[in-house]
């Protein structure tokens, strides 16, 4: 256990994720242990209740992209220039160029209207924002392919009314986001399968489960406005459909559980709830459908 606590940050993060899964089983009256931690098995979590035994591998997708670095650089530049803008930036894929080169290209476009050649940069939309406006901010943002969004502003009483001052919004989109996330999920599933296939199932009460926390990879929109479009879930449906297909090819795995953290904000951007959602995917559950009227 000391190795897990004093190893690299990702190793510690994995341990916390496994501990979270185990504690969730335990809080729901399962007898739970962590075989890999004790060295008895290579499986992350074992849970048993009422004749049902569960062998669970816990995985987590992490961000491996430069969006945070890009956001810091661009926000700093906007503050220095005194510009209140919404920048909506679309990439063809997760950018591979150096962050400073991307930032310079975006700055050049804003100041000169010329976008220098960047292989991964597909589209850049610049929308001026009012220096002072009534709260909440009246902005509509499509959630499609959003990888990263950051919002900065002063919220307080100006001119005797509650207002938003000096707002700045950065949106990074990735047109290849779904494919990239699914490729990473497939890698995690195959990794988990390699560990779970070593467990020999002896009777019908045993279950093999892969639990993947996809929250960081999917992302969340954090901006003080309401729009039902924010809750579109095309990406999750694509992931679920992929997992169903994967399970059909691996019939000895019972289910895949996707973990999603949802952040709920009030109209002024203040956090008031964090919801952890579990989506259980099985190969024998048919996909849902809808009728547009």
> pLDDT tens, 128-172?
999 988 877 778 777 778 888 888 888 888 778 888 889 999 999
pTM over 0.85: no
User: In this model, does residue 224 exceed pLDDT 50?
Assistant: no
- Which of these, 25, 72, 31, lies nearest to 48 by C-alpha position? 31
pLDDT confidence of residue 172:
92
pLDDT at 225: 43
Which segment of 66-70, 152-156, 218-222, 279-283 scores lowest on mean pLDDT? Answer: 218-222
Write down the pLDDT at residue 290: 54
Task: Give kind and range of the element (H or E) at residue 84.
Answer: none
| Pair of tokens at residue 127 | 């929308």
pLDDT of 252 above 70 = yes
3-state secondary structure of 106: helix
Q: Is 226's pLDDT higher than 50? A: no
pLDDT band at 269 (very low <50, low <70, confident <90, very high): low
pLDDT tens-digit series, residues 28-58 = 999 999 988 877 678 999 999 988 999 999 9
Average model confidence (pLDDT) for the chain?
A: 84
Share of the chain above pLDDT 70, in %: 87
Rounded percentage of the chain residues whose pLDDT exceeds 90: 40
Q: Which comes out higher in pLDDT, residue 227 or 245?
A: 245
**Which two structure tokens, joined as six digits, stand for 153?**
């502003």
Per-residue pLDDT band at 227 (split at 50, 70, 90): very low
Asked if pLDDT for residue 223 goes beyond 60, the answer is no
CA 226 to CA 265: how far, in whole Å? 9
At 171 the pLDDT is 93
Among the residues of 88-208, which ranges form H helices? 99-112, 177-196
Q: Identify each DSSP E strand in 3-120 by its residue range.
A: 31-33, 45-49, 52-60, 85-91
Residue 205: pLDDT over 70: yes
**Residue whose token pair is 């001026």:** 128
Position 267 pLDDT exceeds 80: no
């Amino acid at each position: 256990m000391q190795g897990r606590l004093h190893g690299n940050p990702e190793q510690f993060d994995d341990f916390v994720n496994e501990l979270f899964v185990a504690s969730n089983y335990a809080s729901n009256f399962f007898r739970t242990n962590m075989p890999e931690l004790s060295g008895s098995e290579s499986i992350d979590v074992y849970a048993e209740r009422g004749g049902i035994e569960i062998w669970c591998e816990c995985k987590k997708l992490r961000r491996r992209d430069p969006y945070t670095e890009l956001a810091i650089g661009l926000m700093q530049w906007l503050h220095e220039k005194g510009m209140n803008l919404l920048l909506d930036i679309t990439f063809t894929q997760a950018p591979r160029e150096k962050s400073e080169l991307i930032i310079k290209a975006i700055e050049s476009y804003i100041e000169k209207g010329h976008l220098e050649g960047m292989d991964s940069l597909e589209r850049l939309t610049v929308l001026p924002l009012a220096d002072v406006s009534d709260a909440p901010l009246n902005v509509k943002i499509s959630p499609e392919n959003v990888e990263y969004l950051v919002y900065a502003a002063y919220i307080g009483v100006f001119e005797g009314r509650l207002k938003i001052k000096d707002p700045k919004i950065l949106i990074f989109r990735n047109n290849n986001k779904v494919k990239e996330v699914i490729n990473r999920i497939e890698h995690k599933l195959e990794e988990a399968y390699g560990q779970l296939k070593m467990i020999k199932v002896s009777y019908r009460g045993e279950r093999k489960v892969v639990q993947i926390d996809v929250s960081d990879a999917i992302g969340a929109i954090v901006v003080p406005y309401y729009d039902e479009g924010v809750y579109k879930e095309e990406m999750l449906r694509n992931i679920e459909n992929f997992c169903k297909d994967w399970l059909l090819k691996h019939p000895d795995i019972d289910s895949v559980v996707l973990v999603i953290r949802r952040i709920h904000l009030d109209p002024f951007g203040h956090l008031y709830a964090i919801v952890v959602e579990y989506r259980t995917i099985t190969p024998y559950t048919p996909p849902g459908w809808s009728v547009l009227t």
